[in-house]
Chain A
């Protein structure tokens, strides 16, 4: 008797069917996860804590760090050998570079001094220096659909969601997930990344939109010739996610004549980064408190000022206006000024919470 004629033949159909049912259940479960994640991302801003992802990153941080260590040591050994054999060339190059930079140093000192005086004269409210935290990259995601890095600094070091992250050359992205010891950084090249930038030479604003490639696109450019090849691109500070003026890259055009940015951060591998503990004013605003708190009471002096202003306005109306007094009308001074509702007495809740002008639209989150 062969196997096909034995009792095992009965098991073939049930297994195939149960496997099919299991596949359908798994497919439905994964699709439900996917749709739920998309809906949650559409509802909530990206800069909200995601506990499952944070816990996963917290667990994966030491594992990735362990596997990255041998490669890091190998890289360091290679760099040591390279430096040893190229020391003379490197020394000559650095001397030449230093000579050219010295002239800029004097100019920089002078400009810094003048700038400080202008700021004082204009009473500009400049952004305070933000403290930095250094961190090491422990894993690097560079696939088609997401570009992110895990760094070994977390909330214990003061890192918060939204903090900008820089390499020695320029901006690389911002923190989108934080746990105690590690943080997840979304790169500028990520397909969901949107960054408000400006062209240094023309001051033209644009949105830097990642697409999973090496050079993100410059979108929403306006005006005639707002950018040229080689123009320096900086963060504009609009929307409050990044401070103004952080170096991003250089403008370039692709084969389809679309403007893109060659990132400074691409110049070398990113093994160490700095997290800027930058908190913008828009992140400090408590919208709920703004909407519930009423305006301060009007003082007697303010009330008198308002009454005087109203009286002065009604006493000298514009000729031909509808408010011009007729001989039969009451004198304006007799009109009780107190009935005029002062603007300052409007409750604050009628106005929306302060939002920075030109705030960048929140990118779709994960």
Chain B
């Protein structure tokens, strides 16, 4: 990352190209190559927790060896800038990724015990050994703390708590929901798989950093990951963001207090929306499609919620308006015009939305992390790291999709994979009639 943010396009204009992170070349950071075909065996899925036990035993023993090597390498790198037994550590990272991919249903085949490269649909690419910075090595345990917190939020840190608060982590939520989905349809939902890949990808980068395999800091950007050759399916609710990473330190410091007027308005408007959502549900159930005014009204509220949460979580810099008008904010929600909806899906929407709401709650943890670290980084550097910002954009988009589904704005199920953000937003869908300009 250069630290220099390019000029922001006018509010409302989608970026010309999807934003990317300067994350270094693929060989500099560990990454996972995905060749998984989403097919899953119901039988092995049902017994997955039991089947994985032998691997967990081997992994535990392997972990002890990896830890000892990491301690040796810490001293060695501190004096010589180089590490020893790199192949062994790389094998450990591959094997751990295979095992956790299998455990969390991110991949289907039973993995081998060797951690051999190219042997699994989730194939970790561990960077080649290179001289490491002594300062980064010496202070590794301190430097790793933010990454540890994100890894814990994702559930790939190997611990479930960093502050005494127990957390199962995002990947466990993914696995829990995927277990039911696979047993029902015999396939892994693409979005859940991609989200799991993101978690594992961050996990391998985190562990490569912790185990002194590389001194490249883990990259939280979901846009730089490989989610397989097929693009994610498009969705009626999408998000766009500008390239602005500059943050005003003054507004960062007081961000929560500046959010308060919006909070009041969110609550007041939200009371009305509760009734309009119910009304729209009835209309959709009987007419087969939402009422246009209600669709636009609820859509405006959802867009407003996205604007406000983008602001308070430092995903965006500018103070948002109060009416949720499309095209008025750098992080904008694009909601397709109302369309015909399946009555069955409408009738049982509350039940059907339950898994999405569970996942949205877990993704909300990511947004909290983004806000927390974005606050510190924004205050000190006056800008938001691109990876953190993009992670926040993903969290906001998924939360908006989950709410949009629950509020009958669409009957398309929310797509939980961060891979959707890699899909260019060429022709942002717009609502049938624009809302009035903000006051």
Is the A/B pair a real complex? no
Interface residues of B (CB under 8 A from A): none
